[in-house]
């Protein structure tokens, strides 16, 4: 896996090999990386940087992830992909997080039966209660997720919230949301690492695409 994660200017590039890729440039994607000889897995959110159609006999898309955290963790070995006690399902949904009457925007990036991880909503303190709403949700996706408690809040706006089980809306919506995320992942394509790819230690990939400099 390390050989396929290319860190450039603090970002990570990954070539997703697909004979008939239908993802246009700029598409937002969520990818779960898992190791075949363990239950360790991690999920990353990124976007399609470039499509490759038959270049050097290879087709697929270059995916850009905004940081290099996974590559750095893998330098410590596969144990760094910490196995979690609760199954978390990666996603990417715009959400409103409201404390009292103060609404904040963030993105839900993973879901478990017990809570959510949200990025981008800054200024909330651990221990505070919030109401979470998925923006633009359409049935059967629940819009109102009810009451949650902030259990972790990093300065950069990385939140972990736990559903308040005594809240009826939260109790019903959390189960429905988790079930829908399970269905979505069951439909996602699953690709294995080609045994011909890294023969002799050489990664069989097209050249790295040009990356725009950050402003």
Secondary structure of 170-185 in the HEC alphabet? HHHHHHHHHHHHHHHH
What average pLDDT does this structure show over 42-55? Answer: 87
132: confidence class by pLDDT, cuts 50, 70, 90: very high
What average pLDDT does this structure show over 2-19? Answer: 89
Between residues 197 and 80, which one has the greater pLDDT?
Answer: 197
Q: What is the pLDDT of residue 142?
A: 97
Q: What is the pLDDT of residue 34?
A: 82
Q: What is the pLDDT of residue 213?
A: 67
C-alpha pair distances (Å), 201 with each of 11, 192, 204: 23, 18, 9
Q: Does residue 118 carry a pLDDT above 60? A: yes
Q: Does residue 124 carry a pLDDT above 70? A: yes
Contact call for residues 159 and 118 (beta carbons, < 8 A) = yes
What average pLDDT does this structure show over 97-104? Answer: 90
| pTM (predicted TM-score) | 0.80
Contact call for residues 35 and 69 (beta carbons, < 8 A) = no
CA distance 118 to 98: 13
Q: Which residues pair with 62 in a beta bridge?
A: 15, 50
Q: What is the mean pLDDT of the chain?
A: 87
Q: Does residue 84 carry a pLDDT above 80? A: no
Q: Does residue 39 carry a pLDDT above 70? A: no
CA distance 59 to 49: 14
164: confidence class by pLDDT, cuts 50, 70, 90: very high
Ranges for all domains in the chain classified under CATH 2.40.10.220? 89-187
27 class by beta-carbon count within 10 Å (0-12 exposed, 13-18 middle, 19+ buried):
middle
Neighbours of 12 (CB within 10 A): 21
Give me the architecture of the 2-83 domain, per CATH: Beta Barrel (2.40)
Give me the architecture of the 89-187 domain, per CATH: Beta Barrel (2.40)
CA distance 158 to 162: 14
Q: Does residue 186 carry a pLDDT above 60? A: yes
């Amino acid at each position: 896996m390390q050989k396929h994660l290319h860190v450039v200017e603090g970002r990570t590039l990954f070539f997703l090999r697909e004979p008939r890729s239908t993802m246009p440039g700029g598409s937002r994607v969520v990818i779960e990386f898992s190791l075949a000889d363990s239950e360790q897995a991690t999920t990353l959110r990124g976007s399609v940087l470039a499509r490759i159609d038959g270049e050097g006999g290879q087709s697929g898309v270059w995916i850009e992830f905004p940081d290099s955290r996974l590559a750095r963790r893998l330098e410590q070995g596969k144990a760094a992909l910490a196995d979690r006690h609760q199954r978390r399902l990666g996603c990417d949904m715009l959400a409103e997080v409201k404390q009292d009457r103060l609404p904040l925007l963030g993105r839900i990036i993973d879901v478990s039966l017990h809570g959510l991880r949200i990025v981008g909503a800054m200024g909330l303190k651990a221990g505070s209660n919030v109401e979470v709403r998925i923006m633009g949700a359409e049935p059967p996706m629940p819009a109102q997720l009810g009451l949650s408690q902030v259990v972790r809040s990093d300065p950069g706006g990385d939140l972990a919230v736990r559903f308040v089980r005594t809240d009826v809306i939260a109790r019903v919506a959390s189960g429905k949301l988790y079930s829908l995320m399970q269905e979505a992942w069951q439909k996602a394509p699953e690709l294995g690492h080609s045994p011909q790819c890294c023969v002799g230690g050489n990664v069989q990939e097209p050249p790295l695409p040009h990356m725009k400099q950050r402003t």
